[in-house]
Amino acid sequence: MDVDMHIHTLESDGTYTPEEIILRAMKNNVIALAITDHDTVAGVKAGKAAAERYGMEFIEGIEISCNEENLEVHVLGYYLNLEDEVFLRELAELEEAREKRNRKIIEKFEKIGIIIDIEELKKFAPGNIISRLHFANYLLEKGIVTNKNEAFTKYLGRTGLAYVPKENFSPERAVKMIKANGGFASLAHPKLITLNDEILNDLIVRLKECGLDALESQYSSFSKAEKQKFRKLAKKYGLLITGGSDFHGDNREGVDIGDAGLEYSQFERIKRFLNK
């Protein structure tokens, strides 16, 4: 695809630097992209600088992790103002909540006899964010699990022994954050939120009222029929579409930059919308 709007760097749970992302995207014939790390914009300026050096169109992005009852909801933000102090303070609040959650996860591991050395854990997370994926890599390296799936199934997933739910951060708040910043908001990978169409439709309606602009219908793991389904859903609610690979480098096998996303003509609809 010409445009990949969902990419992670080592500033969250990817394994590539922002410059390495740009170079790989060029190799894969991608002509525009967004860096959308989880709850941080730490890699955005470096990504933009690299894109300018190599002549690639760049979108300042983020993926905000939210929760609602038993659902994990992610909201993508694009064309962000990185000088917005209010927005940056809210991101700092998210980072603090993540650190608190990580401490609770470590405590749960200790209760079942598994000691997590925080300094060693940090080596698996070169950026500012320590995620459950970094915990999984740590467990794999220590021989506690045989693969990452086991790490999530046995320990880190919703029914796992060391699972800790996120502090409440509503998707409505995420959309409002992005819109107040002057950005463009899209609901990420809707199929991964829930398979219940009624619940998903209700969520979309509520987020549209908060300013939601788009639905990520072009996602790497979606089938052709699923992509069509979510394009129709976006049209039903008067939303634009976004798309991306959700590239995580070596942390997600079988997914490469440009595997999913938008054709440039589709991307231009977003730019025309923003220019209004």
Q: What is the pLDDT along the chain (276 residues), one digit of tens a residue?
A: 899 999 999 998 888 999 999 999 999 999 999 999 999 999 999 999 999 999 999 999 999 999 887 788 999 999 999 999 999 999 998 888 888 999 999 999 999 999 999 888 988 888 778 888 889 989 999 999 999 889 999 999 888 999 988 877 899 999 999 999 999 999 999 999 999 999 999 999 999 999 999 999 999 999 999 999 999 999 999 999 999 999 998 888 889 999 999 999 999 999 999 987
Matching CATH number, 92-156, of 1.10.150, 1.20.140, 3.40.50, 1.20.1250: 1.10.150
pLDDT of residue 165: 83
pLDDT given for residue 129 in this prediction? 80
pLDDT tens, 244-257?
999 998 888 889 99
- Record the pTM: 0.89
Query: Domain coordinates of the chain in residue numbers?
Result: 3-85+168-275, 92-156
Other beta carbons within 10 Å of 40: 21
Q: Which CATH superfamily is domain 3-85+168-275 in?
A: Metal-dependent hydrolases (3.20.20.140)
| pLDDT on residue 166 | 80
- Three-state secondary structure string covering the chain: CCEECCECCCCCCCCCCHHHHHHHHHHCCCCEEEECCECCCCCHHHHHHHHHHHCCEEEEEEEEEEEECCEEEEEEEECCCCCCHHHHHHHHHHHHHHHHHHHHHHHHHHHCCCCCCHHHHHHCCCCCCCCHHHHHHHHHHCCCCCCHHHHHHHHHCCCCCCCCCCCCCCHHHHHHHHHHCCCEEEECCHHHCCCCHHHHHHHHHHHHHHCCCEEEEEECCCCHHHHHHHHHHHHHCCCEEEEECCECHHHCCCCCCCCCCECHHHHHHHHHHHHC
